[in-house]
Amino acid sequence: MTDKIDLQLWERWLPPRSLRNRSRHGRSHLPIFIGMLLALLLTACGSRPTRQPVVVMDSESDMALGMRSYQDNNYMQARNYFARALAQYRSVDRRADELNALIDLADSALGQGEYMAARDYLGEADKLAANGNFSALGPHIELLTAYADMQAGDTQLAVAQLDALLNDPTTPADIRQAALFAHTQTAFDLKSADATAWLGKLGAALGKNPDALSTARYQRLQAMAARNNGDLRQATALYAKALNAYRAVYYRPGIAATLEEWADLSMQQKDWNAAKNQLQRALDVRLSMYDRTHSVRDLEKLSQVNTKLGDTAAAGQDAQLAKYLKDGGDPNQLSVQLQP
């Protein structure tokens, strides 16, 4: 499911959608069916025909269902399907498919902000790729590793990984573009002097007609540049455009990330009511994705905002809910609890 390259993987550190829509799992089941049919014919001459396992068909079905859940931003369900497929692939020693399942598990974990789980999956994938001569998937593993580092706050590690990808002429074009988005984001996060230069490189690489999601992601980075330059009106306009683009295609990670960044801008302007509204909406989206990590961040910021608004009861409740999630609470239960 390697169509991933957006990033904050707040969406920020999520791979962009372009990598997520690949057809790797869209293979026809017809060759598998024909193979099973031939096997049955060959064994029919024996006294007791051997019953053929359906593990391959089951695993392909699970991968397809996992991809569908992933594309609907239902990362928890996607991980369940991919984990089942992984176990099935391992049971028949299908190493290449096992590697694909591990990559998709890592990608889905990053969609939930679960970078530690993603690192575990990627560690397994890296070993399997090295021992099984699957070098073609190396750049994808490296990209997701950089995303995990970004989510973990290990920004310098991520930068080194991204530099390696960008400086390697053999890096595939989609991976290169994703790495460029990520590097530009890290430049702004680190408040690097060359952040604007990275934004210029990204704009040049996108060309004149980028897809809608790439455009929205670029607008969010432009908004960060505008904020740094003190042009808060321009930043507001860019966030509004990005949010409308994400909502038009029901892309939850982008919707949540834009609302969170816009809330940061509102807090910078001391517009606490606007910030509260934006954070509550972002929280609703994060909880729908079963995203514990970013839901905690939204609740902690809501607590700060409610304190500024003088609503100490609401601030205390926000802090309690954040602790509930930190302690392993169920985001789905919390989502039901918060319904009006």
CATH H-level superfamily of 1-207: Tetratricopeptide repeat domain (1.25.40.10)
CATH class of 242-340: mainly alpha
Give the pLDDT score at 51: 53
CA-wise closest residue to 9 among 154, 171, 168: 154
Q: In the structure, what pLDDT confidence band is assigned to residue 336 with cuts at 50, 70 and 90? A: low
The CA distance from 280 to 321, in Å, is 13
Query: pLDDT, tens digit, for every residue of 250-269?
Result: 999 999 999 999 999 999 99
More confidently predicted of 27 and 209 = 209
Task: Output the six-digit token pair for 214.
Answer: 């790439």
Length of the chain: 340
DSSP secondary structure letters along 160-224: HHHHHHHH-TTS-HHHHHHHHHHHHHHHHHTT-TTHHHHHHHHHHHH-SS--HHHHHHHHHHHHH
Please determine, for residue 34, whether its predicted confidence score (pLDDT) is greater than 50.
no
Instruction: Determine which helix (DSSP H) or strand (DSSP E) holds 81, and give its type and residue range.
Output: helix 75-91
Region 121-144: what's the mean pLDDT? 92
Query: pLDDT, tens digit, for every residue of 49-66?
Result: 555 467 778 888 899 999
Secondary structure tally for the chain: helices H, strands E: 16, 2
The CA distance from 286 to 274, in Å, is 18
Can 1-207 and 242-340 be said to share one CATH topology?
yes
Average predicted confidence (pLDDT) for the chain: 86
Q: Where are the domains of the chain?
A: 1-207, 242-340
CA 238 to chain centroid: 22
Q: In the structure, what pLDDT confidence band is assigned to residue 332 with cuts at 50, 70 and 90? A: confident
Give the pLDDT score at 132: 78
Give the pLDDT score at 14: 56
326, 300 contact by CB (below 8 A)? no
The CA distance from 125 to 188, in Å, is 30
Query: pLDDT, tens digit, for every residue of 299-328?
Result: 999 999 999 999 999 999 999 999 999 988
